[in-house]
Amino acid sequence: MKTVNLKVKRFDPATRKSKFQDYQVEVDDSAAVLDAIIEVREYQDETLAVRCSCRSAICGSCAMRVNGHAKLACMTKVSSVSPNGETIVVEPLGNAEPVKDLVADMGPFWAKVKQVQPWLKPSLPAPDREYIAPQEAMQDLVGAVNCIMCGACVSDCTVLEVDKNFIGPAALAKAYRFVGDPRETQTARDERLSQLSKYGGIWDCTHCYECVQVCPKDVAPMERILDIRRAAVAAGFRDNNGTRHSDSFARSVKHTGSLDEFRLLPESLGLDDIAAQLKFVPTALRAIAKGKVPSPLHHKRPGAEHVTRIFDEMEKE
């Protein structure tokens, strides 16, 4: 047995105010953070609210922030986050409104899952028996199907922090599960890729890796987002800022050996889309005032021809 010091962020729905409350409980040496929380609510303070059920990392109920990062409380050992008896800080999931204590409002989360039309759209009529599909394709999807929709990735997503419109890592990983399914029809797949290429979709991820790090089931949502991007570009969905951005990036590096930051923004928005570019004028003016605008004169770096050669080799492959 050992003593655990918990600092729990509590939200009172009546006053709509949050405060931290300290608890001290005795738990088994092998206990998880959730065990400590359950011990509190069962024997010390029955008013403490938390969602939890399976205690084996499959139901996805108990995602919360532990010492600042989203985790499944049931699979987070006390010993791993508090090796020397340090106080453990637990808070509800981020990027969500608290409902009561550790219970967060998952409504917006589920709304985004719905937004990607998360159901298989197979070719019809269905066969009498099963659809024939290669095991490798099914095995590849297991990675995404592993997702238990706990919301840890969404909690710590840095894009969602600033842009609520982003579909987010969980729903996009879910979308991959269909994009990558050989049973879907071509039309359904194209429709998905077209939808997902729009504002709020796959191109809004900034590759910060937070979702990959906090995912308790190794779903690696960001990798799935990149998988969808590749599929979208390959399927010809190139008319969007994201594709133009990565094209511009590649083009300047290929030909000059370094990034031409001055051209990056207009090229990403589309050189002929004057309206979109005009929207950025105020930002540009502020940047100029602060001396943050890259030089319009972009020079070729010495040895740039080697970079070009590497690009050519890769493109041949």
Partner 1 sequence: MYQHDVLVIGAGLAGMRAAIEASRMGADVAVITKVHPVRSHSNAAQGGINAAMGGEGSDDTWELHAYDTVKGSDWLGDQDSIEVMAKEAPQDIFELEHMGVIFARDEFGRLATRAFGGASKQRTFYVGDITGQALLHVMYEQLLKAGMRVYEEWFVLSLIKEEGECAGAVAMNMMTGDIEVIRAKAVIMAAGGIGRVYEPSTNGLICTGDGMALAYRIGAPMMDMEMVQYHPTTLKGNGALLTEGARGEGAYLINKDGDRFMKKYAPNKMELASRDVVSRSEAIEIQEGRGVDGCVYLDCRHLGEKLIRQRLGQIAELALEFANVDIVKNPVPIRPGMHYIMGGIKTNADGASYVPGLFAAGECANVSIHGGNRLGANSLLETVVFGRRSGKAAVEFARSKAKPVRISETMLVEQQKAKIQKLMDQPYPGYTSARVRLEMGKIMDKHVSVFRTEQGMKEAGDTILRLMQQYHKLSVRDHGKVYNWNLFSTLELENMLDVAEATCMSALARKESRGAHSRLDFPDRNDKEWMKHTLVYKAEGGPKIDYLPVVITQWPPERRTY
- Return residues touching partner 1 (CB under 8 A): 13-14, 28, 30, 41-43, 46-61, 75, 77, 99-100, 103, 106, 110, 114, 118-120, 122, 126, 128-135, 138-139, 141-142, 145-146, 148-149, 178, 181, 183
Distances 133 to 86, 118, 136 between C-alpha atoms, Å: 51, 20, 9
**Phi/psi at 122 (nearest 5 deg)?**
-85, 165
Please, what is the angle between helix 221-234 and helix 186-196, to 10°? 110
Q: Which is nearer to partner 1, 147 or 253 (CB)?
A: 147
The residue (of 56 and 295) whose beta carbon lies closer to partner 1 is: 56
Q: For partner 1, give the closer residue by CB, 94 or 180.
A: 180
Q: Which residue has the tokens 């600042």?
A: 68
Q: Considering the complex, what minimum distance in angstroms separates the CB of residue 111 from partner 1?
A: 11
Close Cβ partners of 126 (under 8 Å, ≥ 6 residues apart): none
Give me the residue label for tokens 């050989």. Answer: 182
How many Cβ atoms from other residues are within 10 Å of residue 132's Cβ? 8
CB of 53 to partner 1, least distance (A): 4
* Smallest distance from partner 1 to CB 60, Å: 6
For partner 1, the closer of residues 128 and 317 by Cβ is 128
The residue written with tokens 């000059």 in the block is: 256
Q: What is the largest CA-CA distance in the chain?
A: 71
- Residue 126 Cβ, how far from partner 1 at the closest point, in Å? 5
Distance between CA atoms of residues 277 and 196, nearest Å: 23
In the complex with partner 1, which residue's Cβ is closer, 59 or 259?
Answer: 59
Q: Residue 145: name the closest of 246, 66, 231, 217 by CA.
A: 217
* Smallest gap from residue 253 Cβ to partner 1 (A): 38
How many CB atoms are closer than 10 A to CB 261? 15
Shortest separation between residue 141's beta carbon and partner 1, angstroms? 5
Is 135 or 186 the residue whose CB approaches partner 1 more closely? 135
Q: Considering the complex, what minimum distance in angstroms separates the CB of residue 86 from partner 1? A: 21
Instruction: Specify the residue, 105 or 239, whose C-beta has the smaller distance to partner 1.
Output: 105
What does the CA dihedral 141, 142, 143, 147 come to, rounded to 10 degrees? 110
Is 313 strand, coil or helix?
A: helix
